[in-house]
Amino acid sequence: MTSSAKPVIGVISNHIVEDEGAYIVKARYVDAVARHADAVPLICPALEDIRDAAAMVGRLDALLLTGATSNIEPARYGAAAGRAPFDPARDGMAAALIAAAIAAGKPVFGICRGLQEINVALGGTLVDQRDGSNQQVLHHAPEGAELDAMFAYGHEVEVVPGTPLAAIAGEKKLAVNSVHFQTIGKLGAGLVVNARASDGVVEAVSSTGTAAPVLAVQWHPEWRPEGRAHDLAFWRNVGEISRQYAGLRA
């Protein structure tokens, strides 16, 4: 039964800011949860001690893993090397929160780094397009681009018919922003591709083996979504699904 109360959605924080520990998340993610998902955002600190992850999840209706400037440490997906900056505390807390949410049967949503965290948590791998890649499509503006120019850069993705994203977006092709260097290599267990770029890069995934929905996109639907119907639909779906699972809090 869907609750009429606003659901509580946990939004993971980052831990490294200007070479000093902090628990911080960019306002656009929190604002999107509040404004477009009609939910209550609650920031989950990326504590180095992950033992309280299940207790955090117990107080939430759903979990949102955001984008970030850091990359996941390569050892977490079996790679020998990776590109800094890294945020080990976020890596650990993200993995613990994902595991706890899945175990508790609560929805998990991901954006950019969040999609990659979900993939790694489920046994998948990542690759970096700057490391000898032959990709036909660049997925990031030139390094050093100003923020507006960075998010103005994008490309088209093709939505896989019959997937959750297809039902949400209602379109076969979507114009998305593209602000990532890393991409999915091996797909995590139980994940299904919902969209791809023209060069085959996975742009959205959902789950088949979890009690509650898992949905993640590689682009940034939180960045000025008012002019993009499919991004607003993404947030409405986040809110609707979270309401369906409201009331399971400890």
Provide the annotated active-site residues: 112, 220, 222
- Listed residue (65, 123, 111, 109) closest to 91, CA to CA: 65
Residue with tokens 């009690």: 211
CB 157 within 8 A of CB 195: yes
Query: What is the distance of C-alpha 138 from the center of its chain?
Result: 20
The three-point CA angle 94-207-212 to 5° equals 75
Question: Which tokens belong to 56?
Answer: 């955090």
Structure tokens given for 233: 């639909």
DSSP code for 71:
B
Residue 227 DSSP symbol? G
- Measured distance CA(188)–CA(200) in Å, rounded: 16
CA distance 76 to 62: 24
Cα–Cα distance for residue pair 231/244, rounded to 1 Å: 20
Question: Which tokens is 140 given?
Answer: 């990031």
Find the helix or strand (DSSP H, E) in which 28 lies. Answer: helix 27-35
